[in-house]
Amino acid sequence: MKQAPILITGAAQRIGLYCAKALHQQGHQVVISYRRYRPLIDELQNSGIDCIQADFATAQGVQTFIEQVLGRYSELRAIIHNASDWHADNDSDPDGVFDAMMAIHAKAPFLINQALSPRLCAEKADIIHMTDFVAQTGSAKHMAYAASKAALENLTLSFARKLAPGIKVNAIAPALICFNEWDDIAYRQKTLQKSLLGIEPGEQEVLKTIDWLLSSDYVTGRVIPLDGGRHLNLP
């Protein structure tokens, strides 16, 4: 019997891409969303990962994505909300930045969960929100981003209450997971010093947490921090 698929939003690059490939290699059927086409999409399609284009910055983009998923799949094993964008606060357009961050990180997951949760498997199902360390600490330069991730963490609690006991709803809140290839040595050293463990853990750390949440029978309404003890690295 074919397994119901795991849906991962924003999974055409970095952590989302790593997890999509790894879960597919584990034997899961995987469906992803991507914002912009790139040659990699053809490779993923050919490997058996279903790829759906979607722009979550617009209400129409979210609705079109929902309709495509509903049209293709009668059942889902899990929804992993990984789609994200990262904008610094902009004094010349504060409304635009705030609205964009809220649309992608809070409104899109809210609408997708509302529409697709009836398709989640009755026996074992999960929703996982990817949030951020700054949801709990705030950010002087990325206030809109931090606020939108905090909103997503709150939605984790609300959906956990609404969808129990059939669907577990949790969040993963990373700090540093992996550097960009263009990050210079000075930036890397400064960032590593922010956590107690002082390492770049890599994408596999997120995958391990996803695997654990998917296999658990008794964890819901929780935000799992992946921060290397950064919250305790006080002056």
For the stretch 30-74, pLDDT in tens is 999 999 998 999 999 999 999 999 999 999 999 999 999 999 999
List Cβ neighbours of 43 (8 Å cut-off, separation of 6 or more): none
Beta bridge partners of 127: 79, 169
Is the CATH number 3.20.20.70 carried by domain 6-225?
A: no
pTM for this model (two decimals): 0.95
DSSP string, 17-64: HHHHHHHHHTT--EEEEESS--HHHHHHHHHT-EEEE--TTSHHHHHH
Determine the Cα–Cα distance for residues 5 and 199; give it in Å rounded to an integer: 33
For the stretch 21-38, pLDDT in tens is 999 999 999 999 999 998
Amino acid 93: pLDDT: 82
- Could you tell me which of 173, 169, 84, 59 has the C-alpha nearest to residue 120? 169
Amino acid 107: pLDDT: 98
Amino acid 89: pLDDT: 86
Residue type, 96: G
- Token pair belonging to 188: 């890397």
The answer to whether residue 235 scores a pLDDT higher than 70 is: no
Mean pLDDT of 1-12: 91
Residue 219's alpha-carbon distances to 81, 165, 215, 223, in angstroms, are: 18, 11, 10, 10
User: Torsion-angle region of residue 204: left (phi > 0), alpha (psi -120 to 50) or beta?
Assistant: alpha
Domain boundaries, the chain: 6-225
- Kindly report whether the peptide bond that precedes residue 39 is cis, defined as omega within 30 degrees of 0: no
111, 62 contact by CB (below 8 A): yes
- Token pair belonging to 39: 């040659």
For the stretch 208-220, pLDDT in tens is 999 999 999 999 9
For the stretch 143-177, pLDDT in tens is 999 999 999 999 999 999 999 999 999 999 999 99
Residues with catalytic roles:
145
- Token pair belonging to 24: 């597919």
Round the CA-based radius of gyration of the chain to a whole number and report it. 17
Write out the E strands in the chain. Answer: 6-8, 30-34, 50-53, 78-81, 126-130, 168-174, 223-226
For the stretch 93-151, pLDDT in tens is 888 999 999 999 999 999 999 999 999 987 889 999 999 999 999 998 899 999 999 99
Mean pLDDT of 12-19: 96
The answer to whether residue 188 scores a pLDDT higher than 90 is: yes
- Token pair belonging to 125: 């199902």
